[in-house]
Amino acid sequence: MTDQRIVYTSSDALLPGMTRMEEWQFRMQATLNFDTSFACEQASQLAWEVTTHHFAGLIGVLMQLSPQKIERTPASLSQADVDYLMVDLILAGEVWSRAGHRETVAKAGDFLVLDLMQQSTITLHQPATLISWVLPRTALPQDPAALHGMLLDHRQPAARLLGAQLRELMACSPELSAEDIAFYGAESTHQLVTTLSRQLAQPGQVEYQPPLLGRICLYIEQHLGDRTLSPQDLSHRFGLARASLYRLFEPMGGVASYIRKRRLLTARRCLMDHRQHHLRIGQIAHRCGLEASTFSRLYTQAFEMTPRQARTLSLMARPLESIETLDIQRAHLGWFRQL
């Protein structure tokens, strides 16, 4: 039987009743809420092989993909819990990216870094093979926003050393014991974080300012528990007219709606966190900047269950090692919650 912490999917084995296009878009939405699009000839040739490995605090995804476009749009950012960095190690082919002010072409051996709290567009003009490493943004001691779209060239020692370790970790993954997974996963995370932190410390990196929308979203994320956080506060802090702020957030349903969604997503994460089960539901609402009197109604509207039901389900949930199904949506969302 396949290792329960490893999920393999392929365009040659589709879910019942789904076309290739429907299943691929479902899988991309079910993990980190990516949008995908294809030219006509690309749609007819759509194919993938994806193997996802869960390590301690780190997820590695080996992908062989046909040509396509993969995007994080404002709508994507408002609909998913995306507090992660994605670090792509290109194994074969080329990956064209547009992220913030950076437009790059990543080739074999290169690393491409994406902050999933910011917009980006990835284009594959030809088939490509890559390993995507996903880790929490909070793993970095510095603000990782400046890394968005950064390319670590394969000729640099840092890229060669890090690439060798991460390729071997993926190759050895099926043979690792539970103790090995915890140890080598933590060691690889440490090396990945150290390499990225050194890039942030280099001259020129810290001077980068992400696009205005990204800066505002980051500020919102850092102040969700602040009761004074509001469209008026943001307009004053960023020197924007109210109309300009609303136009900026219009694709996300408006700035007030975006703040509320992010607060509710944070509350959902807290409710599912076993380490926070000693907190009353009203306390969680308060910590997330929400009124206890309206929290249950808003939460139910957003997630189709009450906060109490969500907490009960999380208490009943079995740990990762006991997952019997390899369904990608259930497995992956559980993994991301554990990062």
Q: ∠ at Cα 54 (56, 329), nearest 5°?
A: 130
Burial of 315 (0-12, 13-18, 19+ CB in 10 A): exposed
DSSP state string for 207-275 = T----HHHHHHHHHHHTTT-TT-SHHHHHHHHT--HHHHHHHHGGGT-HHHHHHHHHHHHHHHHHH-GG
DSSP 175: G
pLDDT at 261: 87
Tens digit of each residue's pLDDT (9 = 90 or more) over 210-263: 567 777 887 898 899 998 999 999 999 999 998 999 888 887 778 998 899 889
pLDDT for 282 equals 93
pLDDT at 1: 33
- The list of the chain residues with pLDDT below 70 reads 1-3, 74-82, 202-211, 314, 316-339
Cα–Cα distance measured from residue 120 to residue 88, given in angstroms and rounded to the nearest whole number: 13
